[in-house]
Amino acid sequence: MKLVKLGNLASIQTGKIDVNKAVVGGRYPFFTCSRDVYEINDAPFEGKAVLVAGNGDLNVKYYEGKFNAYQRTYFLFVNNEEELLPRYLYWFLESYVGQLRSDSIGSTIKYIKMGNLTDAEIPLLSVEKQLEIVEKLDSAFAEIDRLETNLEVNVGKTHDLLQSIQDEALTASSEDWGPCKIGDLGKWITGSTPSTAKKEFWGDEVPFVTPADLNASGELGEIGRRISKLGSEQVRVVLAPSVLLVCIGATLGKVAWTSETITTNQQINTLQVDVKKSNNKFLMYLLSSPSVQKKLWDSSTGTTVPILNKGNLENIDIFIPSLERQVEIVKKLDNAFAEIELLAARIQIEKDNAVALRQSLLSITFTREDAVA
């Protein structure tokens, strides 16, 4: 097996322009360090190019035709296609990108230098053997791409099914449901961050919750920070049971439930549930349903950062059933969500397997001497 440095086999260049030169709807592809491909109206480069991101999330692309490139994006043109096939070079660099990541430098944004590419050694096989490898990898990866596309479709279907079950279960469908306002469900308390300068506020008794502590399943994970349970206005303790609702920023509408006494920061409004009227987990399901989520966002204000103030929140109209019916709905949704979570877990395993298969194919092809000899 003959190893040859890429600098002896290909011309390696970089683009000349900044990322902000991209044009939506442009005539030609514009390659940056992103995995996404942008557009632009001028294309000074043309050929069978292998493109390597020079910083950030290092990745490799292949393109034939006219294009433009960002100034930190490298692209390689093969000197002699009777010696090295461009597509074979692409697959080699796909297998080599892990080494490039390992060799990258920089404290904030990792980057590679030209020498990382020129000094890389590629197994230079006969053109016939290169073509055989290219055809094998093109075919195998096309099949993996189809598998991953189908898995993404299934993820979407799973999400749609979840929303459909939730909406169906939470739709007012009988005389057992009645109208009310969100403010009627209990006492809503806006969170507050106690002064860090006053050590008496901070202790190990009551969990101090922020939006990051609300997970996708609607439950609270292990809370790292805690405060002391004091009767100060600065420490707003919410007695159990309660429902938490993020009321500012991109995660506005994120919901969780808990049967633990808590306190939160000011980005969260917490409902101290009136247990004679409502079940806290039912309210979590209700507030996270698509129809109520739309009402939450429609009631928010702010042009740059969306904000749902407590007054607007409490005045939103909803329907709720009797407490007995709420408990029945919670059981139904718990069972449905558990089944969907199992399905989602199986899909994730298949996705992980597809990623591992990609890496395995490249590793076998370019690191085993008997595979490339």
pLDDT for 371:
44
For residues 236 and 272, what is the distance between their CA atoms, to the nearest angstrom?
Answer: 12
pLDDT for 157:
74
pLDDT over 80 at 134, yes or no:
yes
188: nearest Cα among 269, 261, 132: 269
For residues 252 and 89, what is the distance between their CA atoms, to the nearest angstrom?
Answer: 47
21: nearest Cα among 12, 13, 32, 33: 32
**Which letter does DSSP use for residue 220 in this model?**
B
pLDDT for 234:
60
**Residue with the two structure tokens 């004679």:** 276
Average pLDDT over every residue of 310-336: 91
Q: Is-above-0.75 flag for pTM?
A: no
pLDDT for 113:
93
pLDDT in tens, 267-284: 999 999 988 889 999 999
Rg (CA), the chain: 28
Spatial strand order of the sheet with 45-53 comes to: 10-14, 73-78, 45-53, 60-69, 28-31, 37-40
CATH of 3-124 among 3.40.190.80, 3.40.630.30, 3.90.220.20, 3.40.50.300: 3.90.220.20
Distances (CA, A) of 294 to 158, 237, 298: 20, 29, 6
Nearest 10 degrees: Cα torsion 96, 102, 105, 106: 120
For residues 210 and 254, what is the distance between their CA atoms, to the nearest angstrom?
Answer: 11
Tell whether the torsion through CA atoms of 135, 136, 137 and 140 is positive or negative: positive
- Domain limits, the chain: 3-124, 178-320
- Cα angle: 119, vertex 121, 122; to 5 degrees: 140
Q: 335 is written with which tokens?
A: 């069972």
Task: Given CATH 3.90.220.20, say whether it is the number of domain 178-320.
Answer: yes
How confident is residue 145, by pLDDT bands cut at 50, 70 and 90?
A: confident
Average pLDDT over every residue of 10-15: 96
For residues 350 and 338, what is the distance between their CA atoms, to the nearest angstrom?
Answer: 19
Average pLDDT over every residue of 290-301: 93
pLDDT in tens, 186-228: 899 999 888 878 777 887 788 999 998 988 778 887 787 888 7
How confident is residue 370, by pLDDT bands cut at 50, 70 and 90?
A: very low
For residues 32 and 67, what is the distance between their CA atoms, to the nearest angstrom?
Answer: 11
pLDDT for 27:
96
For residues 286 and 299, what is the distance between their CA atoms, to the nearest angstrom?
Answer: 16
For residues 18 and 38, what is the distance between their CA atoms, to the nearest angstrom?
Answer: 12
Are 38 and 14 spatial neighbours (Cβ–Cβ below 8 Å)? no
Tell whether the torsion through CA atoms of 295, 301, 306 and 308 is positive or negative: negative
Are 60 and 50 spatial neighbours (Cβ–Cβ below 8 Å)? yes
Same fold, 3-124 and 178-320: yes
